[in-house]
A and B are shown apart, each in its own frame.
Chain A
Amino acid sequence: MGTALVDKVWDLHKVRRLPNGKDQVFIGLHLIHEVTSPQAFQMIREEKLKVLFPKNTFATVDHIVPTEDQSRPLKDPLAEEMLVALEKNTKDFNIQFFNFASSKQGIVHVIGPELGLTQPGMTIACGDSHTSTHGAFGALAFGIGTTQIKDILATQTLALSKPKSRRINITGKLNKGVYAKDVILNIIRLLGVNGGIGFCYEYGGEAIDRMTMEERMSLCNMSIEGGARMGYVNPDDTTFEYLKGKEFSPKGEAFDTAVSWWKKIASDKDAHYDHGVNIDGSKIEPMVTWGINPGQAININENLPEVKSLNASERETAEEAYKYMSLPAGKPVKGIPINVAFIGSCTNGRISDLREAAKIARGRKVSKKVKALVVPGSQQVQKAAEKEGLDQIFREAGFEWRQAGCSMCLAMNPDKLQGDQLCASSSNRNFKGRQGSSTGRTMLMSPAMVAAAAINGAVSDVREFL
């Protein structure tokens, strides 16, 4: 019986078994941002600790970043205070910080990969649940809390319980108009928002093999929405090709050495998994969420489910969801009018996401009833998009073209829903109040589907635009 990547990487990073039974695990790459790190630095100072491996930690600013006016001081004094704290902390402890002036600032899960910091076989942690994104490279990547950030700063290790493994096979080819976002929403619908608790997901099969790195990132990104703290794809030629020439990727001979090691770290063909699931990728259709958690998702051509048609354990949340969302159970999801369209986030704010959305927007106009915005995931994504003229396509169609940040995914900056506005969003969470208004409503979908919804002014099937 062979070994899965999760076991190989875990063993490689294991320092020892702790007296309480957890494993002490070395963290190869630690990423930090302004929201969850300041209190960790405060603890480091109070407990008179040092940062043990400052070169293994990298910082960026993303959550609180305004996307219209980034001049300093930031207009929001609390946001400015957080940015100043990050500047001071990274300076005091010799940590590299990709700030606005670096041209490399962006959402932490966009810049790690695009700089080549994220590599196969690593353990990667960040005080952000969407750290699972980096699993796309065959890394064990997961979100942590602030006290655990302190542990990494002080020791470069964490006390962790090893997860069980679940292999999720997506067989066949995805159809036109079906994206990685639809695949992951499908998986979460099938396995539930808590189905992944205690598991590390390994995604594989033909549909995954054929995905680009950016698609794999969108997929792994939302592992946490299914309850799995980490999810990964085995590294392959697509991975190596992506990493070639990136700023922090190995260069010259070292790259070839790296590739041969990366190949070895992938799961063996006969690897053992604790659990497995098979899904026919050719049957997946564009997906839309209708409720208040990402598992409440349906195909674009389905009707909104009647509460009584759901499993008993899902009914209570479904009733709560209908009450909050004010959507008509039993009626088609297609055609529901929207007020706002948001394209961006660590799930879908990369260049390929913007290209797919731009294909839909090109030569068309956003509905007059809709406020639509596109927020690139990083300064580098923004620059690449502007070079290709995507910003022009979006602007001409009536989208607002913004600067890089997390923006309306969680609305810690000025980009917020107002009142009970309904937003077609390429982000990752449709929780109550997530987009900045305590009555605001979110429907998650792929960026191309968001563009289609923006143009029609209502939830639409992107395939009618292709």
Chain B
Amino acid sequence: MIPSKQIKSVSGRPIPLPGNDLDTDRIIPARYLKCVTFDDLGQYLFYDVRFNSDGSQKEHPLNNEKYKGGTILIVNRNFGCGSSREHAPQSILRYGIKMIIGESFAEIFADNCTAIGLPIVIAHSGDISNLMAFAQDDPACEIKVDLEKQEAAYGDFTIQVNQPESVKKALLAGTWDSTHELLSAKEQIESVAKNLPYLQFRS
């Protein structure tokens, strides 16, 4: 059994990325899905909203000097909606992001983040607005997210953050890479399969 890494806390500088419903096509355009490994995806993160067709930079938080070196993305509502492409969280992770704090996340995107050990946490809308404003004023500030306490601390402030209990446990215990845990129930898996009517009558 290969245990995955325990993730108990994350610290880093913020990158505020305002906007609701930022979809997976925005996070990584489909043309960059033409690959057989995830290795090079970091460079394509938010490509079409960061770069013009001639390669010159557009105005975007990821292009903004003041957020350079930031590792904690701060986002709004329904982040990651759309496609199931794991390329989206993979490109975020490989760009160097260590955590995402947001108002809410699309479901498949959230599952994909957990599966690759990229922690995401939810915070209240008002807290997100305050945190974004603080980060814009003081981009060098350090945010510390404690997953055990489900708290994020920055400046003189501490806000509550949330994760589904199962996600929190998986990150703290280092069981977010679930394959080996799932495989350990091989006999039970085979017994469920034996009792599925449709596997008997499929021609």
Q: Interface on A for B, CB 8 Å cutoff?
A: 12-16, 18-22, 24, 26, 28, 35-36, 38-39, 42, 47, 49, 52-53, 56, 63-64, 76, 78-79, 81-82, 85, 119, 121-122, 127-129, 131, 142-148, 150-151, 154-159, 161, 193-194, 197-198, 224, 227, 229, 248-251, 254-255, 257-258, 261, 293, 313, 316-317, 320, 410-412, 429, 431-434, 436, 438
Contacts and interface: CB of A to CB of B under 8 A. Distances in A.
A26 B81 contact: no
B19 A147 contact: no
A119 B203 CA distance: 12
A35 B36 CA distance: 8
Interface of B: 2, 19-21, 23, 25-26, 29-31, 33-38, 48-49, 53, 77-78, 81-86, 89, 104, 106-108, 111-112, 115-116, 164-167, 169-170, 173, 175, 177-179, 181-183, 185-186, 188-189, 192-193, 195-199, 201-203
Contacts of B34: 35, 64, 76, 78-79, 82, 412
Contacts of A434: 25, 30
Contacts of A78: 34-35
A15 B37 contact: no
Nearest to A142: B108
A143 B198 CA distance: 21
Contacts of A18: 166, 178, 181
A78 B60 CA distance: 29
Contacts of A119: 198, 202
B181 A129 contact: no
Closest 7 CB pairs of A and B: A145-B86, A145-B112, A143-B84, A438-B48, A20-B169, A147-B115, A194-B78
A18 B195 CA distance: 20
Contacts of A148: 111-112, 115
A56 B189 CA distance: 13
Nearest to A147: B115
Contact of B31 (A16, A38, A436): A436
Given A24-B185, A144-B84, A316-B19, A159 B178 contact: yes
19 contacts: A20-B173, A36-B86, A52-B183, A78-B35, A82-B34, A122-B198, A144-B84, A155-B182, A156-B193, A193-B78, A194-B77, A197-B106, A227-B81, A248-B203, A258-B197, A316-B20, A412-B30, A412-B34, A429-B82
Contact of A35 (B33, B165, B189): B33
Contacts of A144: 84, 108, 111
A16 B166 contact: no
A142 B111 CA distance: 12
B185 A193 contact: no
B188 A28 contact: no
B82 A151 contact: no
Contacts of B112: 145-148
A150 B29 CA distance: 23
Contacts of B30: 63, 410-412, 434, 436
Nearest to A49: B179
B108 A47 contact: no
B49 to A, nearest CB: 8
A292 to B, nearest CB: 8
